[in-house]
């Protein structure tokens, strides 16, 4: 599991009567591909490995490429990737790596309002669709494929978001994915430098993500309070979810979030942390971030 959304994969499977071999991962850490390989060897009946590309609740990027290298060698196992906050944020070349199902949402790096989901399937995954016995109606991939081959959707679709998506994809094409990914990576490095300069601790102990940064609330400071005080200044950062609630806060730096947003957020955070009793030299985090952002791309 390793986070709230990892737990959700398991819950979703259990609700639909699917047996789950849950690999426990401490929050803040990434899954170990070797352990996944061992489990697949031990139980060849495992049909799918489900993983978050970016576990949004901990800001850890799981090693999707390494997992795909394992599932690629197993004809009866597919890799299903929750890329809701990862797609468009950092490289996730589905065909090149061998990801079988990638799902994403409109509301993260796709820069649209919530209300739309995407799914892409590999040829290997389409073979699994043929024998799937899970109850489904609106989420029947075979039906959707049939309609999409006629340039239609099987059911009434979210028209306004589709129009918005065309705008976003035009902008993405204009910029180029490489440039977008490089910018997100630089923003992430800047955020991490600021965290270190402020004497704070990253919540993501391994593979910190390029699309958001999760930070431990310093001793004696409530993470939810940090979020609330930032909101009073008109800045939306996120708190922790479930077991991390109150213990962390999370800063997004994907999509249309730019350098001004990030520097302003760090600056305001320094003020808020001081107000809440954690002493940090004003400007220290901002300066560290500036130094990263000021370097050539």
Residue 200 makes CB contacts below 8 A (sequence gap 6+) with: 215, 216, 218
- Binding status of residue 297 toward its own copies by CB under 8 A: no
Please state the closest distance from residue 131 (CB atom) to its own copies, in A: 16
- Binding status of residue 114 toward its own copies by CB under 8 A: yes
Would you state the structure tokens that stand for residue 277, as one six-digit string?
């009793």
* Positions in 128-147 near its own copies (CB under 8 A): 135-137
- Binding status of residue 157 toward its own copies by CB under 8 A: yes
- Binding status of residue 12 toward its own copies by CB under 8 A: yes
Please state the closest distance from residue 11 (CB atom) to its own copies, in A: 7
- Binding status of residue 44 toward its own copies by CB under 8 A: no
- Binding status of residue 172 toward its own copies by CB under 8 A: no
**Distance between CA atoms of residues 234 and 143, nearest Å:** 44
Per-residue binder mask for its own copies (CB under 8 A), 15-34, x = binder: xxx-----------------
Please state the closest distance from residue 15 (CB atom) to its own copies, in A: 5
- Interface stretch with its own copies, choices 58-66, 113-121, 208-216, 279-287 (CB under 8 A): 113-121
Question: Positive or negative, the Cα torsion across 120, 122, 128, 129?
Answer: positive
* Positions in 180-209 near its own copies (CB under 8 A): none
Please state the closest distance from residue 156 (CB atom) to its own copies, in A: 5
Please state the closest distance from residue 2 (CB atom) to its own copies, in A: 19
Q: What does the CA dihedral 72, 73, 76, 82 come to, rounded to 10 degrees?
A: -30
Check: CB of residue 208 under 8 Å from CB of residue 60: yes
Q: What does the CA dihedral 179, 110, 59, 65 come to, rounded to 10 degrees?
A: -70
Query: In this structure, what are the phi and psi dihedrals at residue 28, rounded to the nearest 5 degrees?
Result: 105, -10
Extended strands (E) in 43-149: 48-52, 54-55, 60-61, 78-82, 101-105, 117-121
Rule CB under 8 A: choose which of 132, 152, 160, 274 binds its own copies. 160
- Binding status of residue 115 toward its own copies by CB under 8 A: yes
**Distance between CA atoms of residues 282 and 25, nearest Å:** 36
Please state the closest distance from residue 165 (CB atom) to its own copies, in A: 12
Residue 99 makes CB contacts below 8 A (sequence gap 6+) with: 64, 68, 79, 81, 92, 122
- Binding status of residue 107 toward its own copies by CB under 8 A: yes
Residue 118 makes CB contacts below 8 A (sequence gap 6+) with: 87, 102, 103, 104, 105, 106, 110
- Binding status of residue 274 toward its own copies by CB under 8 A: no
The SS3 assignment for 216 reads: strand
- Binding status of residue 152 toward its own copies by CB under 8 A: no
- Interface stretch with its own copies, choices 110-118, 260-268, 269-277, 283-291 (CB under 8 A): 110-118
Residues interacting with its own copies, by CB under 8 A?
Answer: 11-12, 15-17, 105, 107, 113-116, 135-137, 156-161
């Amino acid at each position: 599991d390793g986070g709230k959304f990892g737990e959700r994969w398991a819950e979703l499977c259990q609700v639909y009567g699917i047996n789950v071999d849950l690999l426990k991962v401490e929050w803040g850490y990434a899954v170990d591909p070797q352990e996944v390989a061992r489990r697949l060897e031990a139980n060849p009946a495992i049909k799918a490995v489900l993983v978050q590309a970016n576990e949004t609740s901990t800001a850890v990027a799981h090693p999707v490429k390494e997992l795909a290298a394992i599932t690629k060698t197993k004809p009866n196992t597919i890799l299903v990737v929750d890329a809701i906050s990862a797609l468009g944020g950092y490289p996730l070349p589905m065909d090149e790596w061998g990801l079988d199902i990638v799902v994403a949402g409109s509301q993260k790096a796709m820069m649209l309002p919530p209300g739309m989901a995407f799914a892409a399937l590999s040829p290997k995954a389409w073979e699994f669709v043929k024998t799937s016995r899970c109850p489904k109606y609106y989420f029947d991939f075979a039906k959707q494929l049939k309609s999409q081959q006629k340039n239609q959707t099987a059911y009434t679709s979210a028209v306004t978001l589709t129009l918005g998506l065309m705008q976003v994809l035009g902008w993405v094409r204009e910029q180029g994915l490489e440039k977008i990914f490089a910018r997100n990576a630089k923003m992430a490095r800047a955020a991490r430098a600021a965290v270190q300069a402020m004497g704070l601790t990253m919540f993501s102990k391994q593979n910190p993500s390029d699309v958001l940064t999760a930070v431990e609330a310093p001793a004696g400071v409530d993470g939810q309070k940090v979020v609330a005080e930032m909101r009073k200044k008109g800045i939306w950062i996120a708190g922790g979810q479930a077991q991390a609630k109150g213990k962390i806060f999370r800063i997004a730096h994907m999509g249309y979030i730019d350098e001004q947003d990030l520097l302003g957020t760090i600056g305001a955070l320094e003020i808020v942390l001081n107000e809440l009793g954690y002493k940090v030299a004003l400007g220290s985090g901002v300066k560290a971030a500036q130094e990263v952002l000021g370097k050539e791309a």
